[in-house]
Structure 1
């Protein structure tokens, strides 16, 4: 029997039926089922013919074997008869001389003949029985196959009936699909994220408290609209049991139910509003209103445009309020970080100033001691003392200069360092972080940025001391505003820019000579790349 092609297999046809709602797979499945049935019927017919022919061939083979054995036995019998005749002839010739011996030999030959004949007869009987048994077995197999074919035919008829039922079910589902198609507003997240645009603020208030206050007013206006019958338009001529008062009571209950349903729908939608579904949320609110108006068509109750606008106003106020709260949290986080950095800088400056004052006092004490010794020292030791005094005076001058710088930085909060750093292993080429620190040791701030949150440490390209570091940082940020990596959160101070462009802006806004390191060392990253290269080469050699 030939094998059925894969697209006629049952699993493939069932998988097509699983996508019945796409119609085309269903039609293809029906065609394949019909074709499968034809192929199976042809296969069964061919198999039946082949098995019948095979049985006939086997029967002819058995008959041929039986005839061959019979001929062989007949030839043996002829030979035995010839030998008997020969012995008879010899017996006649030598009967007188060897009568007794020949008689015995003849009897033995007859006995052997009987044995051989009986043995052959038994073999023939056994072969006849075996042929009959095989015939019965093949007849039983044929009956079984006929039953299987009949069962398959019944199964195919059952499948035909099932396909007809599926056709009817498909028609019903098509009608149901056409009915609900207009009501579906659920969008695929993938399409939604690709299609949403930038949101333009409708109110753009200064603080979250203003949004909160305005949101309270809008909700209060909604309550007033419900209270003064501005939320719905309705008919006042309803009668129940020919009673106008009962009709009015029933109408008020229907209005209350309608407003409550609309409010619940809107609350659920507004509660889930996010940056990527504001427009969809508005469509859902409008659709909810249309559906409720349609359901209350015979009750003559309609949710007004005024009340709908109030709900939409609440939707956008809630969304913008959440944005403003997040923005204020980000700003507070930024201010806290600045205060923390400022506090660290002040602590370092004060600590260093105390050390300088302590060292200055030690040097002054030592200088006064040397000067007293200089008054009474002999001429031979004066030179060494004067040399030590000059050395202490030089150290005091250096301490005084550092003290003046620290005093200046303590009393001028804008003095600090602007750093330009990169991290090739983490962010790639031409991505630079431009930030500011007032720390006494600006390298400590760079080390903090290269902690466990990034896989590799930062490399310094420039460390610029400025009397007005915030202004220099701001000028650099403004110059590369369009090249920010994160264009939403300005706290992320990463820019996709070349180092030469940064140098030009620095030289333009900073008069001092600044040294730039063009090529980042990126030691850990480059060593990691070499290790990966060696591992790939080793795996390639082992595979070969």
Structure 2
């Protein structure tokens, strides 16, 4: 047997030994495993329980963390909501304060508008300018409009302080700016022209407010793009409106003055015609009485004693009538030569105008009562009562003194041709005495009747009372 075979034999034997030993050890292990399997199972169970506990604990920890995160998130949202609520409350407070201020401003504006409305109902307007006549007003109005034209030419009527560009082109932006400025000026000028064309005595403040409102509205709309009408241009428009109104008023006053002058001229012409007519009639009367007197004197020379006494009485009567005719002729000639002489009359009409309302006027007619009768025609229900008929060498001056004295007491402050005044007869008497003392050249005598007879009015009142009593 060689060495190789020996080795093979030994290897086979060793493998058999090892296999037997392995079988033996495996049997023992299985026996031991069978003995300790219950313990191994419990440990595995415990390990499994521990593993599950660990997992549950980790899950609980994760859940706790998630809950904490959710709580923190909710707290954060609550804090944010609280901050937002505080800001909203603060904003609401500021808004309420602003609205309160606006309400107060609106109340003040409303009070002003109510006052203006009340004043406008009475046609109240305080003039802003003091030009002498309509010509000066026309010049001022034209100058105002020329200033506006110059502002338009100089691009000062409306402004834009922002330089705009369109498609990176400043030229296009400038073109857009010019077009928008032209548009807002056209809108503003249209509103102003409409206000000026509609202005009347009872709406001037309303028209000024309309221009102001248009100015504010247009500037608010242009605020986003920084377009606005210049305040100086607005003031020029308001001044134009005021000048246009006062120009109309002055023209109307001048027309009324011209009408008064024409009426005065017609009155003077009528007085001249009446004076000339009276002079001619007085001359005829004088000539007739002169001839009659000469005839009576001629008859006296040849009359018997019985007829002489009768003729003497006739001569005396004719001499008296001739003297009166000569005085009437002299007076007519004087009136024809002195056109400022005439009568200032103080008359009332209680039935038509009430107590303490007097008309103070003048007339140059030879018989001034003709004028009083003319005033008491069908236009009033009752005739006028005469309180004074004052002859003076300067009737226009005396009348003007009385009118100036009682200017603020006029019943009609717009039309000064309406010569009615709300005064007492005692005030008129005092004014006449004052005029007499301060103007001795007027040379007038005054006899005043303080109580108005008002016969027809009082009879009518009495009959009405009887009818009511019945």
Aligned in 2, Cα 1:306/1:421: closer, same or farther, shift over 3 Å? same
- Pick from 107, 111, 118 the counterpart of residue 194 of structure 1: 118
- Report the counterpart of residue 425 of structure 1 in structure 2: 351
- Report the counterpart of residue 450 of structure 2 in structure 1: 518
The answer as to whether partners of 2:356 and 2:422 remain within 8 angstroms in 1 is yes
The answer as to whether partners of 2:391 and 2:444 remain within 8 angstroms in 1 is no
User: How much has 1:375 moved relative to structure 2?
Assistant: 5.6
Uncovered stretches (5+) of structure 1, i.e. residues with no partner: 1-177, 539-544
Aligned in 2, Cα 1:283/1:484: closer, same or farther, shift over 3 Å? closer
1:335 aligned onto 2:261: yes
- Report the Cα distance in structure 1 between the residues aligned to 2:447 and 2:106, rounded to whole angstroms: 66
TM-score scaled by structure 1?
0.59
Alignment of 1:119-268 (within 5 A): 192-194=116-118, 199-234=125-160, 237-268=163-194
- With CA pairs under 8 Å and 6+ residues apart, which has the higher RCO, 1 or 2? 2
- Report the Cα distance in structure 1 between the residues aligned to 2:188 and 2:111, rounded to whole angstroms: 22
The answer as to whether partners of 1:192 and 1:276 remain within 8 angstroms in 2 is no
- Report the counterpart of residue 285 of structure 1 in structure 2: 211
Aligned in 2, Cα 1:256/1:433: closer, same or farther, shift over 3 Å? same
- Report the counterpart of residue 444 of structure 1 in structure 2: 370
- Report the Cα distance in structure 1 between the residues aligned to 2:431 and 2:227, rounded to whole angstroms: 67
SS across alignment from 2:130:
coil
**Deviations along 1:114-161, whole A, 9 cap, x unmatched?**
xxxxxxxxxxxxxxxxxxxxxxxxxxxxxxxxxxxxxxxxxxxxxxxx
Aligned in 2, Cα 1:183/1:246: closer, same or farther, shift over 3 Å? farther
Alignment of 1:15-30 (within 5 A): none
1:528 aligned onto 2:460: yes
Aligned in 2, Cα 1:226/1:439: closer, same or farther, shift over 3 Å? same
- Report the Cα distance in structure 2 between the residues aligned to 1:389 and 1:288, rounded to whole angstroms: 90
- Report the Cα distance in structure 2 between the residues aligned to 1:231 and 1:501, rounded to whole angstroms: 56
- Report the Cα distance in structure 1 between the residues aligned to 2:346 and 2:399, rounded to whole angstroms: 10
**Deviations along 1:416-457, whole A, 9 cap, x unmatched?**
112111111112222222221111111111112122222221
User: How much has 1:309 moved relative to structure 2?
Assistant: 2.1
- Report the counterpart of residue 66 of structure 2 in structure 1: none
CA RMSD for the aligned pairs? 3.3
Aligned in 2, Cα 1:508/1:253: closer, same or farther, shift over 3 Å? closer
User: How much has 1:324 moved relative to structure 2?
Assistant: 0.9
Aligned in 2, Cα 1:186/1:193: closer, same or farther, shift over 3 Å? closer
- Report the counterpart of residue 96 of structure 1 in structure 2: none
Aligned in 2, Cα 1:310/1:518: closer, same or farther, shift over 3 Å? closer
The answer as to whether partners of 1:423 and 1:458 remain within 8 angstroms in 2 is yes
How many residue pairs get matched?
A: 361
- Report the Cα distance in structure 1 between the residues aligned to 2:198 and 2:416, rounded to whole angstroms: 27
The answer as to whether partners of 1:419 and 1:434 remain within 8 angstroms in 2 is yes
- Report the Cα distance in structure 2 between the residues aligned to 1:188 and 1:304, rounded to whole angstroms: 25
Aligned in 2, Cα 1:218/1:404: closer, same or farther, shift over 3 Å? same
- Pick from 215, 218, 240 the counterpart of residue 314 of structure 1: 240
**Deviations along 1:313-335, whole A, 9 cap, x unmatched?**
21111111122112112212221
Alignment of 1:28-107 (within 5 A): none
- Report the counterpart of residue 414 of structure 1 in structure 2: 340
The answer as to whether partners of 1:236 and 1:248 remain within 8 angstroms in 2 is no
- Pick from 330, 333, 341 the counterpart of residue 404 of structure 1: 330
- Report the Cα distance in structure 1 between the residues aligned to 2:217 and 2:106, rounded to whole angstroms: 9
Report which of the two structures shows the higher radius of gyration computed on alpha carbons: 2
Stretches of 4+ aligned residues off by more than 6 angstroms? 180-190
Aligned in 2, Cα 1:347/1:187: closer, same or farther, shift over 3 Å? farther
Uncovered stretches (5+) of structure 2, i.e. residues with no partner: 1-98, 437-442
SS across alignment from 1:287:
helix
- Report the Cα distance in structure 1 between the residues aligned to 2:432 and 2:292, rounded to whole angstroms: 45
TM-score scaled by structure 2?
0.68
SS across alignment from 1:474:
helix
Aligned in 2, Cα 1:269/1:183: closer, same or farther, shift over 3 Å? farther
The answer as to whether partners of 2:162 and 2:226 remain within 8 angstroms in 1 is no
User: How much has 1:381 moved relative to structure 2?
Assistant: 5.1
